[in-house]
Amino acid sequence: MTAKRLTVLGSTGSIGTNTLDIVRQFPDKFQVTALSCHNRIQKIHEQIEEFQPQSVCVGSEENAQWLKARLPSPRPEILSGTEGLIQLASNRNADLVVAGIVGAAGLRSTYAAIENGRNIALANKETMVLAGELIMAKAKQTGSLIFPADSEHNAIYQSLIGHQRSDIEKIILTASGGPFRDTPLEAFQDITLDEALNHPNWEMGSKITIDSATMMNKGLEIIEARWLFDIPVSQIEPVIHRESIVHSLVEYTDGSFIAQMGLPDMRTPIAFCLAYPDRLPLEGPKMKMSELGKLHFAPVPFEKFPCLSLAITAANLEGAAPAVLNGANEAAVAAYLDGKIHFMDIARIISEIMEQFELKKMQHDEQFPFLNKIETIEDALDADQWGRQIAQSSLTGE
């Protein structure tokens, strides 16, 4: 059996390092063809030495020079910037591309991999939020298979195997509720950055951790599910499940619910994507059903999590709305992580930008055609950029 060749985009992040941990456990099954990072060059340097990829991409030419000076020849091809990332992702030497970049920055490379017919392990949900319709259409055209690595979507994917789409009643996306699920609304004004970064169940990168605290993450996942599974938003229901054991469910028309369960460990859904249709005997703690005790499910307290409502509204509007929402969210979360705004400002800023978006849309401003119609990946990126810039201006008071 030949080893599956992997390109890992965002190899220095949480998804990337979990992926490489699986490769480390199964060296005969996987071979790393390419790696990418943005700025953590010390970390990718170590990964290059361990996994010996043929190609690498880093965020800037300066970073590329830093690496070149430290790697003995024969060294891997070292690319940089957006063009380098597209070239890396397009390489047809890879059997599977792990899309583990965070944010809209991952869209062009993921799309390039799909254009080149590569199979994808998709963690970068913002890609589907910005351009889900275009991505699914391109994947259909090139034959690229998209395996969801996001634990909820992976659970749905598994729960759909062997079933007909027409028999789906509902998709139920479980949500841990993040660190503030039990915090009363009156106490939200006292939330600190450290508390928001302290997720009760998952260890993840900082952006998605804040998205989980605001529950924007669940909103982005609803949009992701809408396109991945070609299902209307009205048939996707978020439910609070504090233990993060049931990773999501599909309810069928006959009243059956099919779920995928497991400990909250991202290596499980990533391993599914890497090995499909095989299963990997992963190392690590195993779930014991007899010791689980009670599992809890509850309605989402929408009044505490306005970001989730904003995302559902954007999902229903379709067109440019999800991309604008994403840009505004990324700008607001970055400002929050920089200590520039309060936790509750994130939703307030996004809400203001979405109001401005609806006004602009009604005006059919010829300067911003992408706000009315998303026809290309560039349109989606422009809409994201519009939301991001308006949010940034609002942050700096310009």
Extract the tokens encoding 142.
């090139």
Q: Which is nearer to ligand NAP, 84 or 319 (CB)?
A: 84
Within 10 A of 43 (CB to CB), how many other CB atoms are there?
Answer: 15
Tell me which residue of 369, 27, 33 sits closest to 11, measured CA to CA.
Answer: 33
Q: Does 266 bind ligand NAP (CB under 6 A)?
A: yes
Residues from 337 through 396 that contact ligand NAP (CB under 6 A):
none
Q: Does 13 bind ligand NAP (CB under 6 A)?
A: yes
Residue 255 has which token pair? 């009243």
Q: Considering Cα of 189, then 192, then 196, then 198, what sign does the dihedral take?
A: negative
Tell me the two tokens of residue 143.
Answer: 């034959």
| Alpha helix (H) residue ranges in 177-289 | 193-196, 206-214, 216-228, 267-275
Instruction: Count the site residues for ligand NAP by CB under 6 A.
Output: 27
Among 204, 228, 245, 383, binds ligand NAP (CB under 6 A): 204
Please tell me whether residue 202 binds ligand NAP under the rule CB under 6 A. yes
Does position 14 interact with ligand NAP (CB under 6 A)? The reply is yes
Under rule CB under 6 A, which residues in 89-108 are in contact with ligand NAP? 100-102, 105
Report the alpha-carbon distance of residue 15 to residue 122 in Å, rounded: 10
Strand, helix or coil for residue 161: coil
In the complex with ligand NAP, which residue's Cβ is closer, 17 or 372? 17
d(CA 386, CA 12): 28
Cβ proximity to ligand NAP, 260 vs 371, nearer residue: 260
The pair of structure tokens assigned to 362 is 């009604």
Would you say 240 or 266 has its CB closer to ligand NAP? 266
How far apart are the two ends of the chain, measured CA to CA in Å? 60
Q: Which of 150, 265, 330, 379 binds ligand NAP (CB under 6 A)?
A: 150
Position 307 contacts ligand NAP (CB under 6 A): no
Q: Which is nearer to ligand NAP, 135 or 208 (CB)?
A: 208
Smaller CB separation from ligand NAP, 76 or 205: 205
Residues interacting with ligand NAP, by CB under 6 A? 10-16, 37-40, 59, 100-102, 105, 123-126, 150, 202, 204-205, 207-208, 266
